Amino acid sequence: MPSMKHFLNTQDWSRADLDALLAQAAVFKRDKLGDALKGRSIALVFFNPSMRTRTSFELGAFQLGGHAVVLQPGKDAWPVEFDLGTVMDGDTEEHIAEVARVLGRYVDLIGVRAFPKFVDWTRDREDLVLKSFAKYSPVPVINMETITHPCQELAHALALQEHFGTSDLRGKKYVLTWTYHPRPLNTAVANSALTIATRLGMDVTLLCPTPEYVLDERYMGWAAQNVAESGGSLAVSHDIDSAYTGADVVYAKSWGALPYFGNWAPEKPIRDQYRHFIVDEAKMALTDNGVFSHCLPLRRNVKATDAVMDSPNCIAIDEAENRLHVQKSVMAALVGRRD
């Protein structure tokens, strides 16, 4: 396992360690109940809502003999301050320096879900909430989605390995396609999909409407590094037909254009021009009998059509199920490192 004790990004973990997590997840999928977390507990700290993440982490801890406590700062827990040197005479009641340390005295693991504020990308890309928990916590911290979503990465990877019947996905043509959404969304899942697809050595195309929708340079850099280390390739395309043609995997996600981050009004008319990026039967017909997936939730007939979602080539439900199993693997691995 890696020298650091947290699960913040897959890029922090070696390929061998990721393979071990995926292999153990497959074991947990076959044998759902165990005692790897017997007598252990995890605090699940949600600054943003969730259905799959909360359910899968709570059940995962339970199925391995552990216990999960859900906290929602600002709702059933005090609002938290993250900046150092702040005079706390506003809405926040306690500082992360105390929150993380105290929780670490109670539990064995801490999971954190905190989306960007969508005001200042320069600040949001620092991932302050997650990094602050990791800084102050005496126990391992798990990223439950901030500006990346590493648990989703593993669930996606496992679903692809299951579909293709092999852990070796090198040579597969992988398309990460932008899709329309009425609102500008977080780039977290797109960042993560790009990261794991290149890490697995696939030939990856990032399909987006214009250069403004290319992902942050950090994650493009990670992808380029992964290509150099794992093989495969990386390309950016704005041509729907050429990107889809011959694809083995199509992964869809919506996100806002980063140049307009915090000033979304001018971005909306640009985004509205590209509703035709919806994943439909005609586009999937260009693939090499390719599979389609999405992290969910998905707006049907906005991001993808009913026919695509209900197709036997859609593995989104398999991917969603795999969240349970890969997160059990992550929790068990992190607890095991502390023993």
DSSP H or E stretch at residue 308? helix 306-309
In this predicted structure, the answer to whether residue 140 has a pLDDT above a threshold of 60 is yes
- Domains delineated in the chain: 10-148+322-338 (3.40.50.1370), 153-319 (3.40.50.1370)
pLDDT of 3 reads 43
Is 149 within any annotated ligand binding site? yes
152 is known to lie in a ligand binding site: yes
Q: Are 104 and 73 in contact (CB under 8 A)?
A: no
Distance CA 56, CA 76 (A): 20
Do residues 228 and 270 lie in contact, with contact meaning Cβ atoms separated by under 8 Å? no
Alpha carbons 259 and 318: distance in angstroms, whole number: 34
pLDDT for 225 beyond 60: yes
Give every CB contact of residue 188 below 8 A, 6+ residues apart in sequence.
115, 145, 146, 147, 148, 149
- For residue 263 the two structure tokens come to 């000033």
Reported as a single tens digit per residue, the pLDDT across 158-191 is 999 999 999 999 999 999 999 999 999 999 999 9
pLDDT in tens, 271-317: 999 999 999 999 999 999 999 999 999 999 999 999 999 999 999 99
d(CA 152, CA 50): 13
Q: What whole-number percentage of the chain has pLDDT above 70?
A: 98
Name which of 169, 222, 226 is nearest 191 in CA terms.
Answer: 222
Q: How far apart are CA 299 and CA 80, in angstroms?
A: 32
Q: Is 314 known as a binding-site position?
A: no
pLDDT of residue 337: 66
Return d(Cα 56, Cα 244) in angstroms, integer: 32
Cβ distance 142 to 7 under 8 Å? yes
Q: What DSSP assignment string belongs to 152-178?
A: HHHHHHHHHHHHHTSS--TT-EEEEEE
**Mean pLDDT across the chain, nearest whole number?**
97
Per-residue pLDDT of 8-56, as tens digits, reads: 999 999 999 999 999 999 999 999 999 999 999 999 999 999 999 999 9
The pair of structure tokens assigned to 310 is: 């209900």
Q: Are 106 and 43 in contact (CB under 8 A)?
A: yes
**Does the annotation list 94 as a binding residue?**
no
Residue 299 is which amino acid?
R
The maximal CA–CA distance of the chain, rounded, in angstroms, is 59
pLDDT at residue 92, rounded to an integer: 87
Residue 334 CA to residue 331 CA, distance in Å, equals: 5
User: Is 53 marked as a binding-site residue?
Assistant: yes
Amino acid at 61: A
323 is in an annotated binding site: yes
Tell me, what's the pLDDT at 336?
86
Residue 303 annotated as part of some ligand binding site? no
Q: Is 137 annotated as a binding residue?
A: no
166 is in an annotated binding site: no
208 is in an annotated binding site: no
- Predicted local confidence at residue 326, as pLDDT: 99
Q: Is 32 part of any known ligand binding site?
A: no
pLDDT surpassing 50 at residue 4: no
Contact between 279 and 305 under an 8 Å Cβ cutoff? The reply is yes
pLDDT digits (tens, 9 = 90+) for 237-268: 999 999 999 999 999 999 999 999 999 999 99
215: which DSSP letter?
Answer: P
Please state, for a pLDDT cut of 90, what percent of the chain lies above it: 96
